[in-house]
Chain A
Amino acid sequence: MNTQLFGWILGALFLLALGVSVAAFAADPGATEPEPAEFDETVSIGLTLEAERGLEDDVFLPKVQAFYSQYEYVVGYYGPETFVEAHSEPGHTDQFGYPLSIYVVDYGVTNLELTEEGYPTATLEFHEAPTWIDAEDAWYVVGSDARTPSGETILSFANRADAEDAAESYGGEVRDWDGVLETEVDRDDAAVVRDAVDDHQIEADALREQAGEHDERPVSTVVGEDADTVQAGIDEAPANTTVLVPEGTYEEPLEIDRPITLAGEGEPTIRGDDNGSVITITEADAAVRDLTIDGVGDLATGAETVPGEEGDDWDDEFETHYTGSDAGVSAHVAEGVSIMNVSIDTPSNGIILRQSPDAVVRNVTVDGNEVSAEGFAGVMAFGSPGVIEDSTILDGQDAVYSYRSEGIVVRGNEISGNVLGIHLMHTDGALLANNEISSLANTGIYIMTGPEGNAVVDNYVSDTDTGIYVGGTDSYTANNVVTDTQTGLWMDATHSIYENNLLAENAVGADERAMLPTNRVVGNDFVDNDRHARAGPGPLRIWTEDGQGNYWQGAISVLDGVPPERAYTPTDTVDQRLHTTDGAATLARAPAADALAGLESSVSGMQQGSIVDRNPACEPTHPDRLEELDLIDYAPPCDDLSHT
């Protein structure tokens, strides 16, 4: 070999290596600031889908977009206050890293005005291409009249003068970014929802008591004595009296347009003509008691008109499609109706409530269509928050379908044989409690379309495809028992609390699907699931808070001491088999496995689709329930020597 050439080549290689090394450390990996993204494409928080759909076209809410060092998606916040709140949450930096860039919009370059509700407006051009500016260089108006559907908001401007003008017009004071970060933000989060559960129950009790007054109305008309037909009796009865229907079968569809109580004596049957609804209510404070209803028409959905007053909202067509359909009892724009002790056999819907708030449905049995696809809802509530309780709803599509019924309470019902059990769309602040749901084709409780502030507590769901599907934000899901499903808990919601649930005998106990790692998941029991938990796209989720984790069958044992010192990763190849596979306990404690797992949390935001519980609990939260389910043998405490 030509040694001279060889030497030159070596020298060149050495210099190249040296150059690369120096360059690698001299270059700043964070030097390129990411450009602002389309806000619609960010993972956004701070506005429900319902609120978004209800906004006028010219409304342009304040927005922030943040690029984090460890989180690969751009996070969009409605209002700087939402950003401030997120940043004050414990563990935020652990999960997202630090912000590489933060952008806000400049209201100074558009014709800012506030709507009646206080929502900021902007020009069409601004809507199409908003001016994004660096948040740290911007000026803000805090405490003005400006609002988003979630409450008070902060406006942002590139120039201080513009901010001062806005403060002049709409109140508030001008601050810089540091001043904004110090703003106290008080939004209703999941903890508030948790604290409100008891009050919500009490309010529902009060509503039921109030509906009880419908039972006290004096009898003014007895059908067959004072009137020939039931309808004639209703038409003749004075307000606030009872029309009594003696035992028998009455073949006539009815319309109640007066504040009276229609009550059966014994259990008479009201039979429709298999066409349309059997009882249609169009007056507030009407009540139906002690009746059996059949002969309901078979139009499950797809109506083109509605009885009673029509609405004028963005979704009227949608509403008519559903609520104009046939039902055993159908109430329209009738506040405070109550339906109790009624039994309905229907091929379409059981009860329809449209724009009828404060309704009480109690002790009702709906026997729906055995061919689920041909029937629809057991109880349908559109814009009708109220109480649906102690009822039995069998077969059909949805047992309870709630649409835009903010604050509805569904409790103590027995649901079986349907496709979906309790189905919420655009419904915020609902309380779903103590329902017993079994044998459904699809999902026990299904909260969709990104609502906020829903509470799902003390329900028992078994033998469904998905047990409980929680979507939206700031929801509270606690003390539920889900067994024998393909996926026990489908966690789509963000900023939510999932605590003290028991997930047993499911193919997958819980499936975390939220892209933002912002949920609090503690005190849950995972027992005898094929896989305890799984995670979809997104970073590492940490299911531990303040040193408290969850109980995972098999996660820890006497090997790990008391209190146990071992993190559990249900998404890990070996850890996920700890409770099912002999020998996994030994393999999981290999130094090689520890070496791999040891540092992963240091960049948790960059890990993919995984979950870790840093402090698995030693004992299950619900030994009593496990006892009832005959599963207690599967859930030994970690210091139980007989189970190592």
Chain B
Amino acid sequence: MSTATSTDVPGSTTSDRVRSVFVRELRTVARTRTFLFLGLVLVIAFLGLAWVGGGARAGYVPTIVDLLTPIELLVPIVAIAFGYRAILADGNRGELDVFETYPLEARELVAGIYAGRAIGLLGAVLIPLAYVGALVAVAREDPFGRYASHAGADSPLLFVRFVVVTALFALVVLAVALAISALANTTRSVLALAVVALVAVLVGLDLALIYGLDAGIVSESMLAESLAVSPLSAYRGLVFETIVVTAAGTGPQTATPLASVLGLLVWGVGSLAVAVWAVGR
């Protein structure tokens, strides 16, 4: 399918080459029914959670609180699904061998694939969230007319923050998926690696933090910053600190947003670097 896009590479610039890979990836994403299906599943899951949990009738922040834990589980799974075979598939089809004869560099390939898949993933995650936002706007129960009321600290702005933070989180896990895809040699090994990565992301790193705290490896004074080590905790901390606490009031600091963002960026950029290295080896 894609030899056409690869053959017009000679003489082109880096951005042309990245763009052609990107366009090819977009087509792949668009043609893969499974991804559409995943998006639909998320629409149903998010809307269902917001409704069953009662958050949609209560406001934006209660909805975020209802969605947070399920999203911590669902978004990594979907992100891995979007990315874990992206590079391996090229390898299996022999395209990685082909590109050695063309001036397409590993980082260009990874950048193009990542950008293409990212658009697909963001669509699959953010469109359902947009539906949820719309649901809250419509379903939110009007307060008793007899009494003067106000929105309190609840605000669509906080929901936008949630969408942004969730997008960042999804992009980071997608980078991890690409790294796995690049490291694996066979379909079977990529599946195993993906499962290992999921377990590590979903429970392993948080458990490691708890163990570290218990064993004294993680100092209490640095716990808020150390949370950045785990993408899940970094994400959760960001949601707490920039959204929930804004509404709920003060207490011990839940996270350091800067450290959390840095942690997520390190995971994302690091994973992409690994992917580039693995493709180029």
A: residues with CB less than 8 A from B are 1, 3, 6-7, 17, 20-21, 24-25, 27, 29-30, 34, 37-38, 41-43, 67-74, 93, 97-98, 100, 515, 537, 573, 592, 595-596, 598-600, 602-603, 605-608, 610
Contacts and interface: CB of A to CB of B under 8 A. Distances in A.
B52 interface: yes
A425 B153 CA distance: 38
B58 A607 contact: yes
B66 interface: yes
Contacts of A602: 65, 244, 248
A610 B167 CA distance: 31
Contact of B68 (A41, A74, A599): A599
28 contacts: A20-B160, A20-B164, A29-B158, A29-B246, A41-B147, A41-B148, A42-B148, A69-B152, A69-B249, A70-B248, A72-B59, A72-B149, A72-B152, A74-B147, A97-B248, A100-B153, A515-B147, A537-B141, A596-B69, A596-B70, A600-B54, A603-B61, A605-B152, A606-B59, A606-B61, A606-B247, A607-B54, A608-B58
A25 B257 CA distance: 11
Given A596-B66, A603-B247, A608-B57, A97 B144 contact: no
Contacts of B16: 3
B70 A74 contact: no
Contacts of B158: 29
Contacts of A605: 152
Given A41-B148, A599-B65, A97 B160 contact: no
A603 B49 contact: no
B30 to A, nearest CB: 13
Give the residue among B62, B144, B155 with the most A Cβ atoms within 10 A.
B62
A573 B52 CA distance: 8
B157 interface: yes
B141 to A, nearest CB: 6
B226 to A, nearest CB: 21
Interface string B61-80: 11001101110010000000
Contacts of B53: 596, 600
5 smallest beta-carbon distances between A and B, as pairs:
A37-B148, A69-B153, A595-B69, A41-B148, A98-B249
A73 B144 contact: yes
A69 B23 CA distance: 47
A610 B57 CA distance: 12
B155 A68 contact: no
Given A34-B150, A100-B152, 4 more contacts: A6-B23, A25-B164, A70-B249, A607-B58
B248 A24 contact: no
Contacts of A93: 249
B155 A29 contact: yes
Give the residue among A27, A38, A74, A595 with the most B Cβ atoms within 10 A.
A595
B19 A70 contact: no
A7 B147 CA distance: 53
A42 B153 contact: no
Contacts of A515: 144, 147
A70 to B, nearest CB: 6
Contact of A603 (B15, B70, B244): B244
Contacts of B157: 24, 27, 29
B153 A29 contact: yes
Contacts of A600: 53-54, 62, 65-66
Contacts of A3: 16, 19, 23
A37 B150 CA distance: 10
B146 interface: yes
Nearest to B240: A602
Contacts of B15: 7
Give the residue among A3, A68, A602 with the most B Cβ atoms within 10 A.
A602
A71 B143 contact: no
Contacts of A595: 69-70, 73
Nearest to A596: B53
A372 to B, nearest CB: 31
B14 interface: no
B154 interface: yes
Contact of A607 (B62, B152, B167): B62
A2 B192 CA distance: 41
Contacts of A610: 54
A599 B248 CA distance: 12
A514 to B, nearest CB: 12
B147 A70 contact: no
Contacts of A598: 69
Contact of B247 (A34, A73, A97): A97
B184 to A, nearest CB: 29
B101 interface: no
B93 to A, nearest CB: 24
A515 B149 CA distance: 12
Contacts of B250: 98
A606 B249 contact: no
A67 B167 CA distance: 33
Contacts of B54: 600, 607-608, 610
B150 A603 contact: no
Contact of B49 (A7, A25, A34, A596): A596
B64 to A, nearest CB: 9
Contact of B151 (A37, A38, A72): A72
